[in-house]
Amino acid sequence: MTDQKSASTTVDGAVDSSTSSNFIRNKIADDIKQNKHGGRVHTRFPPEPNGYLHIGHAKSICLNFGVAAENSGLCNLRFDDTNPEKESQEYVDAIKDNISWLGFQWNGDVRYSSNYFEQLYAFAVQLIESGKAYVCDLSANEAREYRGSLTQPGRNSPHRDRSIEENRDLFERMRTGEFADGHCSLRAKIDMASPNINMRDPVLYRIRHIEHHQTGTQWCIYPTYDYTHCLSDAIEGITHSLCTLEFEDHRPLYDWILHTLEIASIAGASDLADTDSEYVLPEQTEFAKLKLNHTIVGKRKLKEMVETNVVTGWDDPRMPTLAGMRRRGFTAAALRNFCESVGVARSDSIVDLGMLEHAIRDDLDKNSPRAMCVLNPVTVVLTNLPDEHLQILSMANHPKVDEMGRRSVPLTKRVVIDRSDFEELPVQGFKRLIAGGEVRLRGAYVIKCIDVIKDDAGELVELHCSVDLDTLGKKPEGRKVKGVIHWVSEAKGIPLNVRLYDRLFTVENPESKDIEDIRECLNEDSLIEITSCIAEPSIMEEGASSSYQFEREGYYCLDEKESSENKLVFNRTITLRDSW
Ligand code: ATP
Ligand code: MG
Collect contacts of 398-407 with beta carbons under 8 A, ≥24 apart. Answer: 398/368, 398/369, 398/370, 399/370, 401/366, 404/369, 407/369, 407/371, 407/536, 407/538, 407/541
CA 207, 212, 217, 223 dihedral sign is: negative
Taking Cα atoms as reference points, which of 524, 518, 478 lies closest to residue 501? 524
Residue 539 C-alpha to ligand 2 middle, in angstroms? 42
350 has a pLDDT exceeding 50: yes
Sheet bearing 438-441, strands edge to edge: 484-485, 438-441, 446-454, 460-468, 377-382, 414-418, 487-489
**Cβ-based neighbours of 262, under 8 Å, separated by 6 or more:** none
Atom of ligand 1 nearest to the CA of 61: 16
| Dist. CA 47–CA 96, nearest whole Å | 10
Q: pLDDT band for position 166 (50/70/90)? A: very high
368, exposed or middle or buried, with CB in 10 Å at 0-12, 13-18, 19+? buried
Looking at the DSSP bridge assignments, the partners of residue 465 are 382, 449
**Displacement of CA 412 from its chain's centroid (Å):** 43
pLDDT at 6: 43
Ligand with minimal distance to 83 CA: 2
Residue 301 C-alpha to ligand 2 middle, in angstroms? 13
| Dist. CA 370–CA 539, nearest whole Å | 10
> For ligand 1, is residue 49 a contact (CB within 6 Å)?
no
Average pLDDT over residues 109-123: 97
Phi/psi at 529 (5° precision): -100, 130
Domains defined for the chain, CATH in brackets: 8-292 (3.40.50.620), 299-366 (1.10.1160.10), 377-487 (2.40.240.10)
453, exposed or middle or buried, with CB in 10 Å at 0-12, 13-18, 19+? exposed
> For ligand 1, is residue 304 a contact (CB within 6 Å)?
no
Average pLDDT over residues 56-81: 98
For residue 117, CA distances in Å to 73, 91, 188, 303 come to 26, 20, 17, 28
Q: pLDDT band for position 266 (50/70/90)? A: low
> For ligand 1, is residue 310 a contact (CB within 6 Å)?
no
For residue 425, CA distances in Å to 66, 435, 485 come to 57, 8, 18
| Dist. CA 338–CA 355, nearest whole Å | 7
Q: pLDDT band for position 12 (50/70/90)? A: very low
Residue 290 C-alpha to ligand 1 middle, in angstroms? 9
pLDDT at 3: 35
Average pLDDT over residues 335-351: 94
Atom of ligand 1 nearest to the CA of 290: 28
Q: pLDDT band for position 400 (50/70/90)? A: very high
Q: pLDDT band for position 275 (50/70/90)? A: low
Taking Cα atoms as reference points, which of 282, 279, 297 lies closest to residue 349? 297
pTM as predicted:
0.93
pLDDT at 236: 95
10 Å Cβ neighbour count for 213? 17
1 has a pLDDT exceeding 50: no
pLDDT at 17: 45
Taking Cα atoms as reference points, which of 494, 484, 498 lies closest to residue 538? 494
pLDDT at 440: 98
Residue 187 C-alpha to ligand 1 middle, in angstroms? 26
Residue 45 C-alpha to ligand 1 middle, in angstroms? 10
Q: H-type helices in 201-298, by residue range?
A: 225-235, 251-260, 269-272
403 has a pLDDT exceeding 90: yes
> For ligand 1, is residue 48 a contact (CB within 6 Å)?
yes
Residue 198 C-alpha to ligand 1 middle, in angstroms? 19
Looking at the DSSP bridge assignments, the partners of residue 76 are 44
113: left (phi > 0), else alpha (psi -120 to 50), else beta?
A: alpha
C-alpha triplet 94, 99, 104: angle, nearest 5°: 155
Atom of ligand 1 nearest to the CA of 247: 20
Atom of ligand 1 nearest to the CA of 246: 20
14 has a pLDDT exceeding 80: no
- For residue 297, the SS3 value is coil
The one-letter amino acid at 421:
D
pLDDT at 540: 93
Ligand 1: residue of 54, 57, 111 to mutate (most ligand atoms within 8 A of CB) is 57
79 has a pLDDT exceeding 90: yes
